[in-house]
Structure 1
Amino acid sequence: MLQRSRQVNHVQQIVEDNNLIRKKAVYTVVNGVDNVLDLPKLTLQEIRDITMGVYQLKLAPRYTESHINDDNYTLQICKDRPNLLRVKLSSRHSSSKAYSLWVEYSTDDITGWYCTCKVGARVVGCCAHIASTIWYLGHSRWQSETVGTCRYTEHIVNAKDIPLETDSGSDSDNVIEEE
């Protein structure tokens, strides 16, 4: 950690020096994750080494699931740097905010990252946006079984959809008196 804390975020420098935040023409949109085949397979331990802990790793499945089918979740490859992936996604706290993040990789490893969120420039650990992207593209998509998360919304019933029961008795007939 001490060694990483002395490093500068070289991906942030690449993005800012080349104005990659604003330029849309330098990216190719990737349709589907299978096209990003050269992103390395990662173990959960390798992802823990990137995140410097398990907190972001625990958030990753839910965060990914909530964004993967979202129109605001787009994968793009930089034309000038084919080993630089850009992902645009919305904030999990505010749907009006969107972030761009970059992941630099080689055939064997993730070599750097940068996100436009408040903590996205750190090199000791990473933000939840980067962790979820790395987890999904580097680990989850390679698994034979999909990792399921609980969808509580499937079990919620809207009260307006429940038909009213018409009872001939009054409410007082159903009251249970305490002794």
Structure 2
Amino acid sequence: MLDRAQLGNQVQKYVEDNNLIRKKAIYSEVNGTENVLDFPKLTLQQIRDITMGVYQLKQAPRYTESHLSDDNYMLQTCRDRPNLLRVKLTSRHSSSRVYSLWIEFSGDEVTGWYCTCKVGARVVGCCAHIASTMWYLGYSKWELETPSTCKYADSILNAKDVPLETDSDSDSDGFIEE
């Protein structure tokens, strides 16, 4: 952590030096349902090591699900640097606020990140936007089963849908006990 804190954010420097926040023409949109180029397959432990804890990782499934269901998950690759991914996400607190984030990857690891949110430039740990994107692209998309989400309503039965028990169903032997 101490070594990483001394380095500075190289992705932020590259984005700002090349004015990548404003340039739209150098990006190609990627379909979010396809595997993004060579984005590395990550384990939960690798994501925990990047986030420096579990707080952002616990938020990632719900945060990702809300963006995917609202079609607010715009993935783009940089034409000049194919291992640099840009994602635009709306804030979970204010739908009018949109954050841009960049994740740089190489081989089987994430090498850097930067987000335009208040805490997105940190290099020791990362913001929830970056954590949810890494979780979605590096972990969730590789899983065979759909990740569990917090849709509790799907597991609740509505009483009107449960068939009524008739007298013949409750009396298995046909005898009435007194």
When the two structures are superposed, what TM-score results if normalisation uses the length of structure 2? Answer: 0.83
Q: Between Structure 1 and Structure 2, how many residues are aligned?
A: 156
Instruction: Determine if contact 1:33/1:137 at 8 Å carries over to the other structure.
Output: no
Instruction: Determine if contact 2:56/2:128 at 8 Å carries over to the other structure.
Output: yes
| Structure-to-structure mapping, 1:82-161, within 5 angstroms | 82-152=82-152
Deviation at 1:121, TM superposition (A): 0.1
When the two structures are superposed, what TM-score results if normalisation uses the length of structure 1? Answer: 0.83
Q: Distance in 1 between matches of 2:98 and 2:154?
A: 26
Letter in 1 for 2:53: G
Instruction: Determine if contact 2:32/2:74 at 8 Å carries over to the other structure.
Output: no
SS in 2 for 1:135: helix
Percent identical pairs in the alignment equals 74
Q: Distance in 2 between matches of 1:59 and 1:35?
A: 22
User: Cα 1:26–1:136, aligned 2, differ >3 Å: closer, same or farther?
Assistant: same
- 2:34 matched to which residue of 1? 34
CA RMSD, Structure 1 to Structure 2 (Å) = 1.5
- 1:171 matched to which residue of 2? none
Instruction: Determine if contact 2:83/2:105 at 8 Å carries over to the other structure.
Output: yes
Deviation at 1:152, TM superposition (A): 4.8
| Structure-to-structure mapping, 1:60-71, within 5 angstroms | 60-71=60-71
Instruction: Determine if contact 1:64/1:133 at 8 Å carries over to the other structure.
Output: yes
Deviating 4+ runs (over 6 angstroms) = 153-156
Q: Deviations over 1:104-151 (max 9, x none)?
A: 001210000000000000000000000000000000000001112122
Q: Distance in 1 between matches of 2:13 and 2:95?
A: 28
Letter in 2 for 1:17: D
| Structure-to-structure mapping, 1:6-25, within 5 angstroms | 6-25=6-25
Deviation at 1:72, TM superposition (A): 2.8
- 2:168 matched to which residue of 1? none
Deviation at 1:37, TM superposition (A): 3.4
Structure 1: runs of 5 or more not aligned: 157-179
